[in-house]
Structure 1
Amino acid sequence: MPGPSTYFSNDRLDELSAPTRLLVERRNRSLGAAYRLFYDEPIEIVRGFGSKLWDAAGREFLDVYNNVPSVGHSHPRVVEAISRQAALVNTNTRYLDRPLIDYSEDLLGTLPRALANVMYTCTGSEANDLALRIATTVTGKRGVIVTRNAYHGVTTETAAISPSLGGGDSIAPWVRLVEAPTGDGVAFADAVAIAAADLGASEHGFAALIADSIFASDGVQPGSSAFLGRISDIVHDAEGLYIADEVQAGFGRLGHGLWGFTRHDSALGAVVPDLVTVGKPMGNGMPIGGVVARRELVDAFAAHGRYFNTFGGTAVSIAAAQAVLDILHDEGLIENARVVGEYLTAGLAMLAGFHESLGEVRGAGLFLGVDLVHGESPDEATTLVVVNELRRRGVLLGASGAARNTLKIRPPLCFSLADADRFLSELDSALRVARHRALPEHPARNSM
């Protein structure tokens, strides 16, 4: 089955307590087989604040997984902004709305000047879907390049460019897959050039490359140099558009400005995508997303038809989004992401000196990936043990990557140094548990 092996399996129903089993069975009956739950023992979460979550029994969990509540669960300023606006009015973008215009100007002010228009959606999936519509309309072509284990959404169009959902066989014939970048990104750039040429020579033509700026579903691949500028040049030389998917990498998560693609600015110039998509952390849990685009692209798209989204950019969602943007600045959360991210990276590197199962640590800010390995091979089995052992120890974490062996670390941006210490300590303990379960096949050094 595609996707993380850390999902709950219904084969384990008999291992659950009676109340939990009953709730899972009711969920299965009402929601159906396509939905998934995390962990061997699913959790009923009822409350959150900051970097913490609580279950129905009152147990506290450290959240090292959820990037949607970017400024922290139930942030008082976001809650107040939502409540205040909901008590006034919540309608659509066909009426003049001063807060909508104010926020749009604030958002555009954080991006390169060439990106002059924003179009609102409800989710990142919708944003990527709209970006693809714009790209195919403007270029008159269909072909799209994505990385081999990419995830860009769940609409029909974005699922067709998301091999992480259904595997390589699930992608559309107009899609070409390339390996995610590693190191200096030279091999990635070469692969993109070949794929663009292949699409250009095909019946589909080449419309766009869409890339998540941290390559999260490919196991978190930030790269070691400013390679996205070269990618942009290659795409434009092939008469395509570069779509920067900032749904996960944006809004300060990488600890370097607000946007992931700006990490690749260099002495040769700034990276300026043709379209930027945003979502998830934008409203701290409220459903809002969007596409920021060059004005000429929006003009060309508009010449072929209008755009409207009933719930995209509603007043309550905009109130939440404005609060998030203000909090990121006022509380110094981008700098916090950098400082705590560097601390976590150093701590993980130190842990790797005691646990041979810990492999490469990659990432930026508060978006890190660390591989679990057996020798030089990906170790999905140990990853499964570690994620579930952390859950038992009150720490929530996920896994990603094509080999499903990369721990995905992306907590709320208010994650503190004390939170980092707690996580590192519990990870050390979980790795020791995994080592003892795997002996004698998986030897490891002495633990911390």
Structure 2
Amino acid sequence: MAGPSSYFRPENTNELSGAERDLVARRERLLGKAYRLFYDRPIEIVRGAGTKLYDAEGAEYLDVYNNVPSAGHSHPRVVEAISRQAGTLNTHTRYLGRGILDYSDDLLATMPAGIDNVMFTCTGSEANDLALRLAKGITGHQGVIVTRNAYHGVTTEIAAISPSLGGESTVAPWVRIVDAPTGDGSEFVRQVAAATDALRQSTHGLAAVIVDTVFASDGVVPGLNEPGSPGFLAPVVAATRAAGGLFIADEVQPGFGRLGSWPGSDSADNPGGRARSPFDLTAPESGLWGFARHGIIPDIVTLGKPMGNGMPIAAMLARRDLVETFGAQMRYFNTFGGNPVSIAAAQATLDVVRDERLPENARVVGAYLVSGLSSLASTAREIGGIRGAGLFIGVDLIDADGQPDEGLTIALLNELRRRHVLIGASGLANSTLKVRPPLPFSLTDADRFLAELDGALTTLRR
């Protein structure tokens, strides 16, 4: 079965209740075999609130996985904004409208000077597809560089640069693959430079280097640099531009404050992140974006998943000159991209992220989690490396020889599910716990997760 072995497998069907078997069978009959379910015993989730999810029997689960409801499941301000706008108007962007312009002003004010235009889509996949379309059209080249287990979306074009979907054999011939960063990132920089040279010497040329700025699918690599200082992405950006390509920062997973505010900053000093000029890569609002950790300014930024707290909205942001050149070549329209209801959801979500200081919460609770995980690792030989920024943390699980342990990871995911804690895995070996909860995740939630993780590891040792 294609995809991580942590997904539900059909051979486990006989272990389900009659009602569960019926749902699984109906799902397969109606939706087909390409869809996947989590866990050896899937869960029917019917409700969510804050950092909790509830199944059909009313049992509560702690959500340590879902970054889409970034402001928390069913946040009342977002729900009210969606309901109000849905009861007023919902149409496309070929009419004048103030909401989309107000939100665009607000969103662009959180970006560095030079990122001047925003184009709306429905999903992160579409945003990356549009970014690649723009990069290829402007550079006149096709070549793209990605990391070995990258995931950037599901359109035909973007699936072709997402080796995590079907393996390296499924990527397009114009794609070059490099290892994800480790250590100080110097080997990553060297491999990107080599791939850049190889593409320049081929018929493909270099159109773009695209990275998820926390390398989520590669096992979570947030970077080790100080806020705003040149990290290992800076030389990659320089090499990309020298080769005539564009650098695309995929912020679909790390964006909107998940990696936390900068230490010592106070987001209350600049509550809206508005009209701050020139943009300061160490300023509180820059903590919204993963690329700012590396002190870089991308050519293109793509957003998605948490943008509307569950409503489908995403965007591509870019330099004005790039968008103007693209617009002179062709027109752009997306029937549902930037519709008034999705814009209302996005505006309410951004407001909540700032007003409730969720990036600051991510920094504080994330540091608490890393400290707790490090303490647990001192006695749990199964825990290897711990990498994280804010509420995006990767925890490597290893065997007695220190090698990635996919079997243990799968068993642990399912034991935590039995303990009503929901979490996922990532990495090339599918052996890294991906800690990525909604941003209101509290210290109490963190304590519960750490206690259940300790208990689950103890159970699996028996």
TM beyond 0.5: yes
Deviations 1:259-302, CA, capped at 9 Å, x for gaps:
0110112xxxxx11000000000000000000000000001111
The aligned residue for residue 458 of structure 2 is 432
In structure 1, give the amino acid aligned to 2:303. Answer: V
CA distance in 1, matches of 2:95, 2:452: 51
Normalising by the residue count of structure 1, what TM-score does the alignment of the two structures yield?
Answer: 0.95
2:294 is the alignment partner of 1:264:
yes
- AA matched with 1:229: A
- Which residue is equivalent to 1:203? 203
Q: What's the counterpart of residue 377 of structure 2?
A: 352
Aligned counterpart, 1:80:
80
Secondary structure in structure 2 of the residue aligned to 1:303: helix
Task: Give how far 1:434 is off.
Answer: 1.7
Aligned counterparts of 2:313 and 2:201: Cα–Cα separation in 1: 37
SS at structure 2 position matched to 1:261? helix
- 2:149 touches 2:428 (CA, 8 Å); kept in 1? yes
Aligned partner (choices 404, 409, 416) of residue 378 of structure 1? 404
Aligned partners of 2:223, 2:354: CA distance in 1, in Å?
Answer: 27
Amino acid at match of 2:197: A
Specify the alignment match of 2:240 in structure 1. 235
Q: What code does the residue aligned with 2:168 have?
A: G
| CA offsets 1:157-209 (integer angstroms, 9 cap, x no match) | 00000000000000000000000011211111111010011011101111000
Aligned position for 1:136: 136
Given residue 169 of structure 2, which amino acid in structure 1 is its aligned partner? D
CA contact (8 A) 1:2 1:164 kept: no
Separation (CA, whole Å) in 2 of partners of 1:17 and 1:108? 50
Q: 1:252 aligns with which of 257, 265, 270?
A: 257
Shift of 1:18: 0.7
Any residues of structure 2 matched to 1:149-160 within 5 Å, and which?
149-160=149-160
Q: Distance in 1 between matches of 2:16 and 2:367?
A: 38
Runs of 4+ in 1 over 2 A off after TM superposition: 1-4
Q: Which amino acid aligns with 1:166?
A: G
Cα distance in 2 for partners of 1:234, 1:409 equals 32
Contact 2:223 2:293 survives alignment (8 Å): no
Q: Does 1:333 align with 2:333?
A: no
**2:307 aligned residue (282, 295, 299):** 282
How far apart, CA to CA, are the structure 1 residues paired with 2:125 and 2:382?
A: 35
What's the CA shift string for 1:37-86, capped at 9, x where partnerless? Answer: 00000000000000000000000000000000000000000000000000
- Report how far residue 237 of structure 1 moved: 1.1
Structure 1 unaligned runs (5+)? 266-270, 437-448
Aligned residue for 1:306, secondary structure, equals coil
Q: How does 1:112-131 map to 2 (within 5 A)?
A: 112-131=112-131
Counterpart contact for 1:151–1:162, Cα < 8 Å: yes
Specify the alignment match of 2:278 in structure 1.
none
Give how far 1:3 is off: 2.7
Moved more, 181-190 or 308-317: 181-190
- By how many angstroms is 1:123 displaced? 0.1
Count of matched residue positions in the alignment of Structure 1 and Structure 2: 431
In the alignment, which residue of structure 1 is the partner of 2:187? Answer: 187
In angstroms, what is the RMSD of aligned CA positions? 0.7
Letter in 2 for 1:420: A
Cα distance in 2 for residues equivalent to 1:5 and 1:411? 22
Contact 1:71/1:412 (8 A) holds in 2: yes
The structure 2 residue matched to 1:294, chosen from 319, 327, 331, is: 319
What is the CA distance between 1:244 and its match in structure 2? 0.1
TM superposition shift of 1:4: 2.2
Match for residue 97 of structure 1? 97
State how far apart, in whole Å, the 1-side matches of 2:461 and 2:166 are: 31
In the alignment, which residue of structure 2 is the partner of 1:403? 429
Structure 1 residue identity aligned to 2:126? E
User: Deviation digits for residues 344-398 of structure 1, max 9, x if unmatched?
Assistant: 0000001101110111000100000000001221000100110000000000000
Kindly indicate whether residue 332 of structure 2 is the aligned counterpart of residue 307 of structure 1.
yes
The TM-score normalised by the length of structure 2 is 0.93
Secondary structure of 2:172's counterpart equals coil
| Identity %, equivalent residues | 65
- Cα drift, residue 2 of structure 1: 4.2
1: CA distance between counterparts of 2:132 and 2:305? 18
